[in-house]
Amino acid sequence: MILLLVSLSGDVSEYDMDSGTPVQELQRRVQALMSRPEYIKLSLAGEILRPTSTLAESGVEDGSLIAVVRIPMPKYVLTYGNDFTAKLWRSATGDCMHTFLHNNYVGSAVLSRNGVFVLTCSDDSTAKIWRIDDGVCIQTFRHTLAIYTASFSGDGASVLTSSDDNTAKLWNIRNGGCIHTFDHGQEFKNYVTSASFSGDDAFVLTTCGGDFTAIVWSIATGARVRTLRHGNTQFNAATFSGDGASVVTAADNTLKLWSITDGACIYTFTHPIGAYVQVLSAVFSGDGVSVLSASSDCTAKLWSITNGACIQTFSGHKGSIQSIAFSGDGLSVLTASADHTAKLWSIESGTCLQTYIGHKAPVYTATFSSDGFSVLTAGKDHAAKIWSIESGECMQSIVRKGILAAEFSLF
């Protein structure tokens, strides 16, 4: 059948397509003719066409007029790494807007939800808040040793840090004062490897590399609520469920699901035992009914928190999986791997929908944009890359010595 396609410039072209052709194939043909990469969708009578549907399933008929619609990129990309800096980049052009400088390696960098601030932390024992509009540092929080992680509370009023000095600390953003110190004690070298807020900002979860504990703390009082032990081994990951009622921890080749109410272990999820197999990360689904894990055995697995069963295994990488993420609609999963690629997977079928190829070294992070149209990856090759989620085409590549991780802005 013959289709009429209206380009972004308003020109009309004819395409001879079979009715059984997927929409994304027509989309690829259109993108291939563009002078520069663009995020696009195809629209029929004002309705965006689903890329995985066929033209016939989408209601496209002989003579149908299809419009190309431009989809804007997220405005900013934030990167950080081992060159003592975090940097804010314009997604569309790849230009660096601001450089946020520390005196040692930057362990993490995050954007505030309102898009006004950047929070960084460093081995120089400080965490800093920077204004996005002018790049000025407006607040500094200090530990006595290196800071591993830093995050904003949900309401944006406080900051949580974890440190090599055996503590995590809760800080007031406005005056820089320390509200609570969550102390793992001095009996061991109790470096606090991570600290995170529960979704309702009622609790803090910390993990410790010395005494092999994860501790849940009350934000209201600063007191311990629960102490969780995952055997005599260090945690690789720990996170709250969305409702704050449970915690999942990862260590060795297992995950454990814990109740905050009584501290009981509800389920243990196990990746196959092998030489040096480690579960490296874990996240809850948006609806809270499943947990996704990533392992050095080159697989990611989806687990039911209702019955503890493995729902799906995502297998196809040739290197350990470094990070994982759910899409906003809960239909797909994104993985980043040491095999130099990231992959998009269907949760329902477990099949790989897209492979993002272009990095020259292990990929450490992979995230979805908030609108679900693009993917951002970063890795050991000091590159951050923006990809079209459907076509797999690289839309932007930011290469700078020191880049190891990256995240999109929410706007």
User: Which tens digit of pLDDT belongs to each residue from 141-175?
Assistant: 999 999 999 999 999 999 999 999 999 999 999 99
Q: What is the pLDDT of residue 9?
A: 81
| pLDDT (average), residues 3-14 | 86
Q: What is the pLDDT of residue 71?
A: 74
**333, 331, 254, 259: which is closest to 295 by C-alpha?**
254
| pLDDT (average), residues 351-365 | 97
Q: How many C-beta atoms lie closer than 10 Å to residue 380's C-beta?
A: 17
Q: What is the pLDDT of residue 242?
A: 93
Q: Say yes or no to pLDDT of 23 above 90.
A: no
Lowest-confidence segment of 68-72, 91-95, 272-276, 311-315 by average pLDDT: 272-276
| pLDDT (average), residues 41-66 | 88
Q: Say yes or no to pLDDT of 243 above 60.
A: yes
Q: What is the pLDDT of residue 259?
A: 96
| Residue 347 DSSP code | T
| Residue 350 DSSP code | -
Q: Give the C-alpha distances (Å, rounded to integers) separating 371 from 22, 172, 269, 411.
A: 22, 31, 32, 9
Question: From CA 13, how far away is CA 304, in angstroms rounded?
Answer: 49
| Residues whose CB falls within 8 Å of the CB of residue 276, separated by 6 or more in sequence, listed in order | 296
Token pair belonging to 386? 């923006």
- CA atoms in the 13 A half-sphere facing the CB of 243: 9
- Strand (E) or helix (H) holding 34: none
Question: From CA 305, how far away is CA 214, in angstroms rounded?
Answer: 20
Listed in sequence order, the DSSP H helices in 224-333 are none
Residue at token pair 């396609």: 5
Q: What is the pLDDT of residue 211?
A: 73
Lowest-confidence segment of 145-149, 227-231, 318-322, 326-330 by average pLDDT: 227-231
* Model confidence, pTM: 0.86
**Helix, strand, coil percent values for the chain (each to nearest 5):** 0, 50, 45
Q: What is the pLDDT of residue 27?
A: 84
Q: Say yes or no to pLDDT of 36 above 70.
A: no
pLDDT digits (tens, 9 = 90+) for 62-90: 999 999 987 777 889 999 999 999 999 99
Apex CA 60: angle with CA 56 and CA 65, to 5°? 165
Topology of domain 2-70, CATH: Ubiquitin-like (UB roll) (3.10.20)
Q: What is the pLDDT of residue 187?
A: 58
- Strand (E) or helix (H) holding 27: helix 23-32
Question: From CA 4, how far away is CA 16, in angstroms rounded?
Answer: 9
Lowest-confidence segment of 131-135, 249-253, 287-291 by average pLDDT: 249-253
Q: What is the pLDDT of residue 275?
A: 58
Q: What is the pLDDT of residue 31?
A: 78
Collapse the DSSP code of 11 into the 3-class scheme (helix H, G, I; strand E, B; otherwise coil) and give the result.
coil
Question: From CA 39, how far away is CA 226, in angstroms rounded?
Answer: 47
Q: Say yes or no to pLDDT of 10 above 90.
A: no
| Domain edges within the chain | 2-70, 76-408
Apex CA 395: angle with CA 392 and CA 398, to 5°? 120
pLDDT band at 328 (very low <50, low <70, confident <90, very high): very high
CATH number of 76-408: 2.130.10.10
Collapse the DSSP code of 301 into the 3-class scheme (helix H, G, I; strand E, B; otherwise coil) and give the result.
strand
pLDDT digits (tens, 9 = 90+) for 181-214: 999 876 556 689 999 999 999 999 999 876 788 9
- CA atoms in the 13 A half-sphere facing the CB of 69: 13
